[in-house]
Amino acid sequence: MSRFVRIGNAQAFWGDSPSAASQLLTQVPELDYLTMDYLAEVSMSILAVQRDRDPSKGYAQDFVEVVRGLCDYWGAGGQCRLIANAGGLNPFGCAMACKEALEHAKCRGLKIGIVSGDDVVAILKDADEIASSWNHLDTQQSIDAVRNRILTANAYMGCSGILEALHQGADIVITGRVADPSMVVGAYAHYWNVPLDDWQRLAGATVAGHLLECGTHATGGISTDWLDVPDPAHIGFPIAEIAEDGSCILTKGPGTGGQVTRSTIQEQLVYEISDPARYISPDVIVSFLGLEVAQRGLDRVSVRGAIGSPPPPTLKVSATYRDGYRAAGMLTIIGYEAVAKAKRCGEIVLQRLQDAGWTFRDSIVECLGAGDSVPVFSSEVPSYALNECVLRIAVESDSKQAVEAFTREMIPLVTAGPQGTTGYAEGRPSVHPTVRYWPCLIPSNRVHCLVNFIETEDRLDQRSVLPKWPMGDAKSNPSYGLHPMSSSHTGHGNAYDNAVQLTLTPGSLPIPIPRLRDVAYGRSGDKGIHSNIGVIARDADNYRALREWLTTDRVREFFAPMGVQQVERFELPNLMGLNFVVHGILKRSIRNDAQGKALAQALLSMPLSGYPEKQKH
């Protein structure tokens, strides 16, 4: 047995690179396990619509093509086991589709494990259930308000079903809703035969799973200094080499782009974790406060020191419900005072709808490029100096007819609006159902994990030529090997600053203003209607200064234009980090940045006013 188990990730979300799995197994064919994450919080509602149209669907159909593309790998003797939550609402249907694809491609016989039991929609819809048991986690609203509109409800199960499937010899494990890190925890526990009450080791594997689950987040994707990431066109997917004690080394496929550095790993560690002393999963509660992160070589970073304790007696449920209709449309406005013209266009559309008697639950006009995606600070360039912006108008209503009326009022601006209106080739905006997220808790003993199996027929002997892997020369793969990209960018400055300066005369070039990004990294994401913003100092001296300067009051004041009233701060001195939970900032789901992905970048643009002089760079 090796001194570590190699677990890779080739899918961070439904829509990620479809060729990543085959590319990663071309680069590292000796990988032990490969995980793929398809399910975001509202993915189940999309799958519910598909299942309503066709009862055999309700799973991520893209995954079937991934499996088909790996037939030659398994046929050539590859032993990597594939674990994916692509089963969605119909893991058995997904498994049957994979079986058909494997047999049609004349693959060797494989055993498919099917993990289900996460669907608890019948429980939440049951009128005899005590409503307060399913209160919204963030707002404490009673489920009675939405019970008759619930689409899906799925408990985040842990690793036990995956572990059982692997113990029974499954080559492929297909699940419904499981916690994202649990796919890695199940693989780790299987390889090292770890008891499911060994909290310390499970904690380490959970941290590794957290680092892997978002794919290229760990290899330079969406990193603060993204312009410095080498060869992003061929960015590699991550691999965790996990030792028996749960510590790990993060790396990536050889010869790929991107980078694995202390900063890329630290940024991902603070991504959407809320309280770092209590990162809750169905398998274990993890404290990140003892983590040690160290660079161990080129694209090799070690992570150790996770502290584990037993999980709570409840599981989180991700439910979704119908809540009316929405639409958003965009036009590009070009010319003098483009922003003022765009704003006037938005006012015209909403005024015409009001005059016609239509009402909306919410509406918004955003001038993208003028600071409206995160409207917390004025642009460094006066709005009258911007010669181009994208007008975005979005509405939401209980009435589908009202939203349809909006879609008909936007395009007339092409002839009735200002000169320079363009970008209308896609025509009228589309109307979409609004689906909301309802998080709640369920006692763990009410969720019963089920594990079933199907086996595919071995048809390898029907091939005239036995498969080889990699197919042909691995290096001929367009994503194999490093392809340097020329870039004049150096350092961690903001290219926007340079663009601003180019519009000014040489005599009026401003002195660059020191900003938070000069002393820190950051990463943000959504936690329901709240946002998690992690900030990590670039060095120890600046961490000491940030602890004093970047207070909850300062962050709350910065985001006050977006209606923020409460901010929590958690300290991670071991990572030189501060983690902020900004409450209620994502209530308006029709915003352009509905998931808070841009909030860290906005915060990093904060001027360092009052920052300790000796710490300024």
Identify each DSSP E strand in 445-585 by its residue range.
Answer: 450-455, 520-527, 530-537, 567-572, 577-582
Q: How far apart are the first and last CA of the chain?
A: 49
d(CA 514, CA 610): 11
Query: Which of 361, 332, 320, 291 lies closest to 151, judged by CA?
Result: 320
Give the up-direction half-sphere exposure of residue 599: CA atoms within 13 A in the CB hemisphere.
Answer: 33
Round to whole Å and give the CA distance between 456 and 98: 9
pLDDT computed for residue 512 by the predictor: 79
* CA–CA dist 289, 575 (Å, integer): 8
Query: Residues with Cβ < 8 Å from 311, sequence gap 6 or more?
Result: 158, 280, 281, 282, 283, 284, 285, 444
User: Residue 435: what are its φ and ψ, rounded to 5°?
Assistant: -120, 125
The separation between CA 516 and the C-alpha centre of its own chain, rounded to angstroms, equals 24
Q: What is the pLDDT of residue 378?
A: 62
Q: Where are the alpha helices (DSSP H) in 293-412?
A: 338-355, 400-410
> CB burial class (10 A; 0-12, 13-18, 19+) of residue 549?
middle
pLDDT at 291: 98
By the 8 A CB rule, do 255 and 245 touch? no
Distance between CA atoms of 408 and 508, rounded to whole angstroms? 45
Query: What sign does the CA torsion over 375, 589, 338, 499 have?
Result: positive
Q: CB count, 10 Å around CB of 16?
A: 19
CA atoms within 13 A on the CB side of 170: 28
Measure the CA angle with vertex 66, ends 60 and 67; round to 5°.
100
Query: Cβ(395)–Cβ(403) under 8 Å?
Result: yes
Structure tokens at 138: 């963030």
Q: Helix, strand or coil for residue 169?
A: coil
pLDDT at position 519: 97
Instruction: Tell me the whole-structure pTM to 2 decimals.
Output: 0.92
Please give the distance of CA 280 from its chain centroid, rounded to a whole number.
18
What pLDDT, on the 0 to 100 scale, is given for residue 613? 73
Provide CB contacts within 8 A for 332, sequence distance 6+. Answer: 388, 389, 390, 391, 421, 422, 423
At 495, list the tokens.
């290219």
DSSP letter at 510 equals: P
Place of tokens 């979300």: 13
- Which domains, from first to last, does the chain contain? 4-118+156-312+449-462 (no CATH), 326-437 (3.30.70), 504-615 (no CATH)
309 phi/psi in degrees, rounded to 5: -145, 165
Query: What is the model's pLDDT at position 286?
Result: 98
Q: Write down how long the chain is.
A: 617
Radius of gyration of the chain (CA): 25
Q: Divide the 617 residues of the chain into consecutive groups of 10 and give the mean pLDDT of each group.
A: 92 94 97 96 84 91 97 96 97 98 97 98 90 89 94 96 98 98 98 98 98 97 97 97 98 97 97 96 98 97 98 96 96 96 97 98 96 81 83 98 97 96 94 94 96 97 90 45 40 41 48 91 93 97 96 96 93 97 94 95 95 65
3-state secondary structure 61-86: CHHHHHHHHCHHHHHCCCCCEEEECC
Q: Which residues contact 70 (CB under 8 A, 6 or more apart)?
A: 21, 22, 25, 78, 82
